[in-house]
Amino acid sequence: MKIRRLLIANRGEIAVRIIRACQELGITACAVYADADATALHVRLADEAYHLGPTAPAESYLSIPRLLAVAKEANVDAIHPGYGFLAENADFAAAVAKARWRWVGPPAAIIRRLGSKTAARKLAQAVKIPMVPGATTPVRSIPTAGKLAETIGYPVLLKAVAGGGGKGMRIVRTAPELSRAFDLAQGEARNAFGNGDLYLEKYIDAPHHIEVQILADHHGHIIHLGERECSVQRRHQKLIEETPSPFLTENTRRAICRAALRLMKAARYRNAGTVEFLVDHQQRFYFLEVNTRIQVEHPITELVTGIDLICEQLRISAGEPLRWSQRGIHNSGHAIECRICAEDPAQNFIPTPGFVTDFMAPHGHGIRIDCGIVAGSTIPMEYDPLVGKLCTWGATREVARAKMVRALQELRISGTITNVHFHLNALQHPLFLKGNYSTQFVERERASLLTAPIPNASHAVIVAAIAKALHQTDPTHAASAAPHPSAWKISARQQGVQHGMEFF
Ligand code: ADP
C-alpha cells in the first residue's frame, strides 16, 4: 500500500530529515509541534503542521492520545516516530497498527521483545552470540545482585532493563558500593522509563562500542550495511561516530556483522534496526542491545553505502521488497559524524539552551549537515540538546577527518555555547588520529579535550578586529592596515565574546 500522507511524531533535526525524504518521495509530510516549537524549522519545512500541546514532552511529543488524535485529524496513512520520544514504545506502535496506520518501524511485538534488554539477551544467548557475562532476567533485590556480582566478579554494571540514553546505569567497583548504587540506579530508571527493573553485567574495561546497521523487509529479506564505531561518548552517550571502524580487524568485522544478522533473523526483524556490541582490546565482541528504530548516526552509513535509509524505511513500511541483496552492498570510503549539541563540555556537558542569534553551515565537497536550527531559532530547555549533525565523507579516513576539522572551523553558531570546540580538539587528538580510542576516551583525555580552542579559524576576523581597534584610535591608520570587517563579522564576533563562544 502506497504511503500518501505521513505523520512525523518527532521534532528537531530528525523531523527535518524525515520531511525531506517524504518530499522526495511525493509523500505529504505532516509535522507536529509543541508550544515551544511553533516556529521551529521542522514546522516551517513540513507540508502541513499540527499543534500537539504544551511544551512539556509528557503533554506533547510523549502523549500517545494526542498523537493519535492528530494523526486522525491529519488523515495520515502512516506514522514515523524518528528516534527518542516514543520511537521504541511498543504500546504506541500497537495503537498505530490498531488504527490501521502504517508504523515506520518493526511491529510492536518485535519492539517489545527486543526493547527489554534482558529479553534481548535471552534471544542472543539462544542464537549463540557472545554476551557480557551477567543476568538474562531482572535482578530484583540487593542480595541477589550481590550474589551475582560475586559470581561474575567486580567491577559490574547495574543497568535498567528498559534502558536507553545511558540512564539508570551505575558502575559498581566493590561490594560495599552495591546497595547505594542499586537504589540510585533503580530511582533513575523509574524516573526515566517508569520501570525500575535492573539487571547486572560484567563491566568491560575501556571497550569499543560497535554497532551494525540492519535493513529487513516484510518478504523475508534481510541485509546488513556494515558497522559504525561509536566509542567517543560522554555519560555513556555518543558524540562522534565513524564508519568503518578504524579498530576492527577484517575478521572481527565479518564475524560481528554475521552475528548481528543471525540475531535479527531470529527475531524476524522488520525495517531498519541496529545491533550494538562492545568489543574489548583483544577484539572479543559481546552483544549489548538492539535499537528498534532509526539511529541518530544513520547518515554515516548512508554516506558510505549511498542508500537513503529513511526512504528505505518508508518503502519497507509500504510493503515494497528490499532493492538490494547482501552482495549488492558495497561500502566505499570513510564517513565521520560529529553531534552538534547546545551543551558546555567545560561544565560537564550541561545543556545550554538559548536563542541562536547567528548560524552559518559549512559547505563543500564531502560535507553534509542535518540540522534542526537556523538563525533566529530557540533551543528549548525541555528537549534533547542535539541541534544538528555534521558529517563528512572522504575516500580515506584521513580525508574525512581533515574535512571535518575544516567544516567545524567553518561552522558558526552564535547565541549559545555548543560543543564545537570539543569536537575540534577530539578530531585532532593523537589517539583519534591513530584511530585507537575506547569508550573511556573522553573521561581519560578530559584535560586535553576540554582546553580552550585555538582561534585559528578566522585569521581574517582577527586582523579585522585589530583594524577596528586601530580605527577607533586612528581612522587613517586602520584604513591602510586591513579591510573593514563586515557588519556580519563584527556582530558575530560580539555575540561570540558576549556568550563565551568558541570561534572568535
Ligand atoms: P543505553 O541503552 O542506555 O544507551 P547501552 O547498553 O547501549 O545503554 O550502553 C551504552 C554505553 O554504556 C555503551 O556504549 C558503553 O559505553 C557503556 N556500557 C554498557 N554496558 C557496558 C559494559 N558491560 N561494560 C562497559 N561499558 C558498558
Domain total in the chain: 5
Ligand 1 contacts CB of residue 132 (under 6 A): yes
pLDDT the model gives residue 458 = 45
| Rounded distance from Cα 188 to ligand 1 centre (Å) | 16
Answer yes or no: do 42 and 26 share one domain. yes
Residues 259, 221 within the same domain:
yes
Question: What is the 492 CA–ligand 1 centroid distance (Å)?
Answer: 39
504 within domain boundaries: no
Q: Are residues 154 and 258 in the same domain?
A: no
- DSSP secondary structure string, 236-251? TEEEEEEES-SS--HH
210 and 324 fall within a common domain: yes
What share of the chain has pLDDT > 90, as a percent? 85
Question: pLDDT tens for residues 391-432?
Answer: 999 999 999 999 999 999 999 999 999 999 999 999 999 999
Prediction pTM value:
0.90
Residue 121 lies in a domain: no
Q: How far is the CA of 438 from the centre of ligand 1 (A)?
A: 12
Contact (CB, 8 A) for 465 and 493: yes
Does ligand 1 lie within 6 Å of residue 133's CB atom? no
In a domain, 325, yes or no: yes
Is residue 96 located within the same domain as residue 173?
A: no
Do 214 and 288 lie in one domain? The reply is yes
Q: Is 260 exposed, middle or buried (0-12, 13-18, 19+ CB in 10 A)?
A: buried
Residue 116 maps to a domain: no
Same domain (yes/no): 217, 325 = yes
Q: Determine which helix (DSSP H) or strand (DSSP E) holds 41, and give its type and residue range.
A: helix 41-45
Those residues whose C-beta lies under 8 Å from the C-beta of residue 476, and which sit 6 or more positions away, are: none
What distance in Å separates the CA atoms of residue 407 and residue 364, rounded to the nearest whole number? 8
User: Is residue 113, in this structure, part of any structural domain at all?
Assistant: no
**125 part of a folded domain:** no
Residue 50, beta-bridge partner list: 32
Active site residues: 293
pLDDT band for position 103 (cuts 50, 70, 90) = very high
Residue 464: which domain range?
455-498
344 and 440: one domain?
yes
Beta bridge pairs of residue 379: 354
On whether the CB atoms of residues 63 and 55 are closer than 8 A, the answer is: no
- Give a yes or no: residue 119 inside a domain: no
pLDDT tens-digit profile of 216-249? 999 999 999 999 999 999 999 999 999 999 999 9
What cell does 40 get? Answer: 521551529
The answer to whether residues 92 and 141 belong to one domain is: no
Ligand 1 atom with the smallest distance to the CA of 167 is 3
Identify whether 118 is part of a domain: no
End residue of a domain, out of 283, 308, 330: 330
- Specify whether 324 is located in the same domain as 353: no
392 and 441, same domain (yes or no)? yes
pLDDT digits (tens, 9 = 90+) for 142-177: 999 999 999 999 999 999 998 888 888 999 999 999
Same domain, 339 and 400: yes
Boundary (domain end) residue, out of 84, 104, 124: 104
Among the listed residues 325, 388, 381, the one whose alpha carbon sits nearest the alpha carbon of residue 359: 388
